[in-house]
């Protein structure tokens, strides 16, 4: 599929009426739609899409169509010579129970669930299943009353009743037109927590969170998050909930996090269910952000949707930006915002930068794809959000809001393109954003090189910025981007100095400035600079680029201790660490002795003990770059050497900061009832980081600290942190036995809680001692199955993606396991299989000795019979790189 080939639909659909006779084995679907010709389209035939359907009946304007009246070619059904206005009636039969792809209509624990984005609706009925066809839906659900007491679909419930013969019905009407990917139905044994909620306008709406029986004690946080989301969108963007009822349904069988179906969001249980004894602080934060994300889609995605799937980031990038801002606003404090920003940037750098540097690299608005489901990527989501954030940085808070207002004013009810969003931002601000378009069309992570010159006699300071962008598949040459570089200058006392630049006269005297880099190279001159300053560039990570700048250790120390921009303060610490981690990795490779200088240790000690800093910020500063991040610093990756180097730093810090770490542990206890508020979460975070460092030292004192925390924990955050520390502890045989016992105890205690058992698998998948053999053994555990995506991710994905030193075993056994898993998953669930397939994207970055077995594993997958196009696209792009 190519973006340039877009053709508007030959026919519009105005209304869709659907009737479902729900039966797990065989469901009958009757669809009646009113259609009219789109005279502006060059597509003259009536085109419908369908997949895995049994077509029973096709009727046009009341007349049964004969086989000769239409052509079915794979997934496409064409009717030539259709009249300009018509009613099309279609009857199909589908098999939900056999549908293990979790796309379309499928069964989960005996309930019916749907997932239609991107192209799942065509597994329910023949339909012009493309996002630019928006229609109004009325849905009649009929099912056995005992087995399926609850019947839900989009919009408002307009009728319900008994059908006799043990069956009942519910009729739903969605007053808003929508693309088919937002269709949803849910039927089964479910219970809900519900609440009437008053909007700012005074209108009352019904909010419901539906779960399986036994889970009602885990819905409060999702409900609170939903109410916070509704309020936030009113306050920050003036956007009100447009329905009288808003429902969330949780299912344990789901391919991703959640889905924004109109008025009937369907969620992975992971992002709904929580109570203190089962969910961690990270889970609580995840629920808040995903509930927000799906709710915000109601305006950015549903009311205004995408013209075609190449525009996916139009809704995803924007909605991620909105959910990031939501979470940041809820914390409220400046440090809280910075902490959220740092976490988001860490993800971007670790996963998106890596994607941008591999065979699947694609622009935020891709030009082609084989399988759209492979393009729900960190580039579309996270880089897409960074692109939206750059408008925010360039236009300011009020300017951005104006742009959003204009976007809604112009496009409400339409299916549009990324360019329409950019145009709204440009027109509302009067700014020329033509060059900004390259952020959508060019893939790759731009590099910005910094050169500075200080002239003491003239008191001038020049910052020269040079940009470049590496080649990506299909894009050898790149044109310069429009890059906002937020910055400040620090004096030798660490304080911001006032900025005077001829380029930005209206900002004279301010301490923060956004430089706009639009050419390959530009020099920005600052005047009246009394002493040589230390530059703080790309504040708050104002653009998704790699900033190449030569700082001395002293300069980084100054920034870490003083920068008024908390993001860059953290960044300075990361640079200090990275410099050493790279050096140490090289030392491991060449067999030199490993040493860590006191400069870093003392800088970290000062941060750890700085009571003026928020504990969550201190936790982030003290967290070493991940092994994956360190790998990005090397042309050829040596996973074992990186692991050894990083472990050495952890162990050294554990030894030198022992007293400080014990103190941090003691100071950040959170006695009393668990609360997921920012302050308590921050304390637990720092305390548990201290614990994990302390357990790098193998002695009885650290061991019993973790053991006691495990035994006495009253919440999952503390319990899991302790168990993780114990599982990675290398102590005496006796201690190992105790640790193993704790692991068994944990399993026994929580074996009925699927989400906790996922954690149990995850913890083992990522443990230092877990090798391929351990994973194979865990796969035979009765609780393990590849059919459930959460479970598959907990063990298989975590091992392949988050335990690099073990996965990249020298004998290639990790890759063999990977190939077996991808092949097995391909039969069950192509979307999930294709995700796992991506673990070998970067095979070219490894030494020859690993490349050979990696390539063999990729080839093995590529040669598999009946390979889905999902997996085929991923492995063939990897092999071609
Ligand atoms: N829009 C959905 C993702 C659908 C993925 C389809 N393979 C969730 C979200 O981004 O909110
Ligand atoms: Zn989304």
Tell which atom from ligand 1 comes closest to the C-alpha of 316. 10
pLDDT at 146 over 90: yes
Give the closest residue to 803 by CA, choosing from 642, 621, 587, 584: 642
C-beta of residue 681 within 8 angstroms of C-beta of residue 616: yes
Could you give the strand order of the β-sheet that contains 111-115, starting from the edge strand earlier in sequence? 104-108, 111-115, 185-188, 150-153
- Dist. CA 629–CA 624, nearest whole Å: 10
pLDDT, tens only, 635-651: 999 999 999 999 999 99
205 CA distance to ligand 1 middle (Å): 25
Q: What is the CA radius of gyration of the chain?
A: 28
Tell which atom from ligand 1 comes closest to the C-alpha of 294. 11
pLDDT, tens only, 231-247: 999 999 999 999 999 99
Nearest-CA residue for ligand 1 atom 10 is 316
Distance linking the first and last C-alpha atoms of the chain: 20
Question: In b/e form, how buried is each residue of 40-68, taking b as 16+ CB within 10 angstroms?
Answer: eeeeebbbbbbbbbeeeebebeeeeeeee
C-beta of residue 40 within 8 angstroms of C-beta of residue 8: yes
C-beta of residue 469 within 8 angstroms of C-beta of residue 544: no
What is the average pLDDT across 703-717?
97
Identify which ligand lies nearest to the alpha carbon of 830.
Answer: 1
* 294 annotated active-site: yes
261 CA distance to ligand 1 middle (Å): 10
Tokens found for residue 409: 């004013």
- List Cβ<8 Å contacts ≥24 apart for 633-638: 633/578, 633/581, 633/582, 634/582, 634/585, 634/845, 635/845, 636/845, 636/846, 636/847, 637/842, 637/845, 637/846, 637/847, 638/585, 638/588, 638/589, 638/847
C-beta of residue 296 within 8 angstroms of C-beta of residue 237: no
260 CA distance to ligand 1 middle (Å): 7
464 CA distance to ligand 2 middle (Å): 38
Identify which ligand lies nearest to the alpha carbon of 294.
Answer: 1
Task: Report the DSSP beta bridge partners of residue 517.
Answer: 483
287 CA distance to ligand 2 middle (Å): 14
Q: Which residue has the tokens 């006799």?
A: 164
Beta strands 191-198 and 185-188, pairing class: unpaired
Give the closest residue to 789 by CA, choosing from 253, 27, 32: 253
Q: In 156-242, which ranges are continuous DSSP H helix?
A: 220-237
**Residue 332: what pLDDT?**
87
Identify which ligand lies nearest to the alpha carbon of 257.
Answer: 1
CA–CA distances in Å: residue 736 to residues 108, 136, 698: 39, 62, 11
Q: Is 560 exposed, middle or buried (0-12, 13-18, 19+ CB in 10 A)?
A: buried
Among 91, 212, 288, 294, the one annotated catalytic? 294
C-beta of residue 859 within 8 angstroms of C-beta of residue 819: no
C-beta of residue 577 within 8 angstroms of C-beta of residue 625: yes
Please indicate whether residue 371, judged by its CB atom, sits closer than 6 Å to ligand 1. Answer: no
pLDDT, tens only, 80-104: 999 999 999 999 999 999 999 999 9
Q: Distance of alpha carbon 774 from its chain centroid, rounded? A: 29
- Dist. CA 822–CA 829, nearest whole Å: 10
Per-residue three-class SS string for 328-378: HHHHCCHHHHHHHHHHHHHHHHHHHHHHHCCCCCCCCCCCECCCHHHHCCH
What is the average pLDDT across 666-695?
97
Q: In 793-862, which ranges are continuous DSSP H helix?
A: 798-802, 804-807, 813-828, 830-837, 848-862
Nearest-CA residue for ligand 1 atom 7 is 373
Tell which atom from ligand 1 comes closest to the C-alpha of 293. 11
Q: What is the largest CA-CA distance in the chain?
A: 95
DSSP reduced 3-state for 453:
strand
| DSSP result, 156-172 | EEEEEEEEETTEEEEEE
- Dist. CA 683–CA 11, nearest whole Å: 58
Please indicate whether residue 306, judged by its CB atom, sits closer than 6 Å to ligand 1. Answer: no
Q: Among 260, 295, 309, 382, say which to mutate for ligand 1: greatest number of ligand atoms within 8 Å of CB.
A: 260
306 CA distance to ligand 2 middle (Å): 12
Nearest-CA residue for ligand 1 atom 4 is 117
Please indicate whether residue 118, judged by its CB atom, sits closer than 6 Å to ligand 1. Answer: yes
Nearest-CA residue for ligand 1 atom 1 is 259
Q: Is the dihedral of CA 498, 500, 503, 505 positive or negative?
A: positive
- Dist. CA 326–CA 330, nearest whole Å: 6
Q: Among 376, 379, 833, 868, say which to mutate for ligand 1: greatest number of ligand atoms within 8 Å of CB.
A: 376
- Dist. CA 439–CA 417, nearest whole Å: 14
Please indicate whether residue 259, judged by its CB atom, sits closer than 6 Å to ligand 1. Answer: yes
259 CA distance to ligand 1 middle (Å): 5
- Dist. CA 863–CA 859, nearest whole Å: 6
DSSP assigned state of 479: P
Tokens found for residue 49: 């899409």
Tell which atom from ligand 1 comes closest to the C-alpha of 117. 6
Q: Among 258, 377, 873, say which to mutate for ligand 1: greatest number of ligand atoms within 8 Å of CB.
A: 258
Nearest-CA residue for ligand 1 atom 5 is 117
- Average pLDDT value for the chain: 98
209 CA distance to ligand 1 middle (Å): 19
Tell which atom from ligand 1 comes closest to the C-alpha of 831. 7
- Dist. CA 190–CA 791, nearest whole Å: 22
What is the average pLDDT across 23-51?
98
Task: Report the DSSP beta bridge partners of residue 168.
Answer: 143, 162
The DSSP H or E segment spanning 447 is: strand 447-455
360 CA distance to ligand 2 middle (Å): 20
Tell which atom from ligand 1 comes closest to the C-alpha of 381. 10
- Residues whose CB falls within 8 Å of the CB of residue 702, separated by 6 or more in sequence, listed in order: 694, 695, 729
Tell which atom from ligand 1 comes closest to the C-alpha of 118. 6
Give the closest residue to 262 by CA, choosing from 277, 278, 247: 247
What is the average pLDDT across 531-546?
98
- Dist. CA 551–CA 536, nearest whole Å: 10
Give the closest residue to 512 by CA, choosing from 538, 492, 531: 538
In this prediction, residue 826 has a pLDDT band, given cuts at 50, 70 and 90, of: very high
Identify which ligand lies nearest to the alpha carbon of 371.
Answer: 1
What is the average pLDDT across 419-446?
98
Nearest-CA residue for ligand 1 atom 9 is 259
pLDDT, tens only, 506-528: 999 999 999 999 999 999 999 99
CA dihedral 550, 554, 558, 561 (to 10 degrees): 110
Tell which atom from ligand 1 comes closest to the C-alpha of 372. 7
Q: Among 259, 291, 320, 379, say which to mutate for ligand 1: greatest number of ligand atoms within 8 Å of CB.
A: 259
- Dist. CA 687–CA 706, nearest whole Å: 11
Nearest-CA residue for ligand 1 atom 8 is 259
Please indicate whether residue 417, judged by its CB atom, sits closer than 6 Å to ligand 1. Answer: no
258 CA distance to ligand 1 middle (Å): 7
- Dist. CA 714–CA 276, nearest whole Å: 8
CA–CA distances in Å: residue 128 to residues 28, 33, 135, 422: 19, 11, 11, 28
Could you give the strand order of the β-sheet that contains 546-548, starting from the edge strand earlier in sequence? 521-526, 460-468, 447-455, 546-548
206 CA distance to ligand 2 middle (Å): 23
Nearest-CA residue for ligand 1 atom 3 is 259
CA angle 519–525–527, rounded 5-degree value: 165
- Dist. CA 148–CA 154, nearest whole Å: 17
Q: Among 271, 316, 385, say which to mutate for ligand 1: greatest number of ligand atoms within 8 Å of CB.
A: 316
In this prediction, residue 225 has a pLDDT band, given cuts at 50, 70 and 90, of: very high
Nearest-CA residue for ligand 1 atom 2 is 259
pLDDT at 596 over 90: yes
Please indicate whether residue 117, judged by its CB atom, sits closer than 6 Å to ligand 1. Answer: yes
Give the closest residue to 818 by CA, choosing from 806, 832, 807: 807
Please indicate whether residue 260, judged by its CB atom, sits closer than 6 Å to ligand 1. Answer: yes
Q: Is 136 exposed, middle or buried (0-12, 13-18, 19+ CB in 10 A)?
A: middle
Rounded to 5, what percent of the chain is helix, strand, coil?
Answer: 45, 20, 35
Tokens found for residue 182: 């937002």
C-beta of residue 384 within 8 angstroms of C-beta of residue 313: yes
């Amino acid at each position: 599929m190519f973006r340039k080939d877009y053709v508007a639909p030959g026919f519009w659909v105005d209304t869709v009426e659907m009737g479902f006779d729900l039966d797990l084995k065989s469901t009958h679907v009757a669809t009646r739609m009113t259609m009219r010709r789109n005279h502006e389209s060059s597509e003259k035939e009536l085109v419908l899409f369908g997949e895995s359907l049994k077509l029973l009946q096709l009727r046009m304007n009341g007349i049964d169509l004969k086989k000769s009246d239409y052509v079915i070619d794979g997934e496409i059904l064409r009717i030539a010579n259709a009249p300009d206005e018509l009613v099309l009636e279609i009857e199909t039969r589908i098999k939900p129970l056999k549908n293990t792809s979790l796309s379309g209509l499928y069964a989960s624990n005996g309930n019916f669930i749907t997932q239609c984005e991107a192209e799942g609706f065509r597994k329910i009925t023949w339909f012009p299943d493309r996002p630019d066809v928006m229609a109004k839906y009325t849905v009649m659900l009929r099912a056995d009353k005992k087995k399926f007491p609850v019947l839900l679909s989009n919009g408002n419930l307009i009728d319900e009743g008994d059908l006799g013969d043990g069956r009942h019905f519910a009729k739903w009407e969605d007053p808003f037109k929508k693309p088919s990917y937002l269709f949803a139905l849910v039927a089964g044994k479910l219970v809900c927590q519900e609440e009437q909620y008053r909007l700012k306008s005074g209108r009352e709406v019904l909010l419901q969170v539906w779960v399986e029986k036994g889970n009602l004690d885990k819905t409060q946080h999702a409900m609170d998050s939903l109410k916070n989301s509704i309020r936030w969108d009113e306050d920050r963007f003036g956007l009100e909930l447009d329905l009288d009822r808003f429902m969330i349904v949780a299912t344990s069988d789901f391919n991703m996090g959640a889905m924004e179906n109109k008025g009937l969001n369907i969620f992975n249980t992971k992002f709904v269910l929580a109570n203190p004894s089962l969910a961690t602080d990270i889970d609580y934060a995840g629920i808040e952000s995903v509930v927000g994300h799906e709710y915000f889609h109601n305006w950015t995605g549903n009311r205004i949707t995408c013209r075609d799937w190449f525009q996916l980031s139009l809704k995803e990038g924007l909605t991620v930006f909105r959910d990031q801002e939501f979470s940041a606003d809820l914390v409220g404090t400046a440090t809280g915002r910075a902490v959220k920003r740092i976490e988001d940037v860490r993800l971007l750098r670790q996963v998106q930068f890596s994607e941008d540097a591999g065979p699947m690299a694609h622009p935020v608005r891709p030009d082609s794809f084989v399988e759209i489901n492979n393009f729900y990527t960190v580039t579309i989501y996270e880089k897409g959000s960074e692109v939206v954030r750059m408008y925010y940085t360039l236009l300011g808070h009020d300017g951005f809001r104006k742009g959003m207002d204009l976007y809604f004013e112009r496009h409400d009810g339409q299916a549009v393109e990324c360019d329409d969003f950019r145009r709204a931002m440009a027109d509302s601000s009067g700014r020329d954003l033509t060059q900004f378009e390259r952020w959508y069309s060019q893939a790759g992570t731009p590099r910005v090189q910094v050169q500075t010159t200080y002239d003491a006699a003239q008191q001038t300071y020049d910052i020269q910025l040079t940009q470049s962008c590496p080649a990506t598949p299909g894009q050898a040459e790149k044109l310069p981007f429009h890059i906002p570089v937020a910055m400040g200058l620090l004096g030798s006392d660490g304080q911001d100095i006032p900025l005077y630049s001829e380029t930005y006269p209206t900002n004279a005297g301010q301490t923060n400035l956004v430089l706009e880099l639009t050419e390959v190279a530009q020099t920005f001159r600052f005047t009246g600079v009394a002493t040589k300053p230390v530059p703080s560039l790309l504040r708050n990570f104002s653009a998704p680029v790699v900033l190449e700048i030569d700082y001395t250790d002293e300069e980084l120390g100054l920034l870490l201790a003083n920068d008024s921009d908390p993001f860059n303060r953290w960044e300075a610490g990361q640079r200090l660490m990275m410099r050493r981690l790279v050096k140490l990795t090289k030392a491991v490779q060449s067999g030199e002795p490993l040493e860590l200088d006191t400069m870093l240790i003392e800088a970290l000690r000062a941060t750890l003990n700085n009571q003026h800093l928020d504990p969550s910020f201190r936790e982030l500063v003290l967290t070493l770059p991940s092994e994956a991040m360190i790998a990005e610093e090397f042309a050829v990756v040596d996973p074992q050497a990186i692991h050894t180097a990083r472990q050495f730093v952890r162990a050294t810090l554990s030894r030198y900061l022992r007293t400080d770490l014990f103190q941090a542990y003691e100071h950040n206890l959170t006695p009393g009832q668990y609360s997921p508020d920012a302050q308590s979460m921050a304390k637990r975070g720092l305390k548990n980081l201290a614990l994990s460092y302390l357990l790098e030292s193998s002695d009885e004192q650290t061991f019993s600290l973790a053991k006691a925390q495990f035994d006495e924990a009253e919440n999952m955050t503390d319990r899991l942190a302790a168990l993780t520390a114990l599982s990675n502890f290398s102590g005496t045989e006796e201690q190992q036995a105790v640790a193993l016992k704790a692991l068994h105890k944990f399993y026994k205690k929580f074996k009925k809680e699927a989400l906790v058992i996922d954690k149990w698998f995850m913890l083992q998948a990522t443990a230092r001692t877990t090798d391929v053999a351990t994973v194979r053994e865990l796969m035979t555990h009765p609780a393990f199955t590849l059919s459930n995506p959460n479970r598959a991710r907990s063990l298989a994905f975590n091992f392949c993606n988050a335990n690099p030193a073990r996965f990249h075993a020298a004998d290639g056994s990790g890759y063999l396991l990977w190939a077996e898993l991808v092949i097995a998953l391909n039969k069950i669930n192509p979307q999930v299989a294709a995700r796992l397939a991506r673990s070998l994207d970067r095979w070219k970055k490894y030494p020859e000795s690993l490349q050979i077995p990696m390539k063999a594993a990729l080839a093995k997958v590529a040669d598999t019979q009946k390979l889905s196009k999902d997996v085929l696209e991923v492995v063939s792009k990897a092999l071609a790189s």
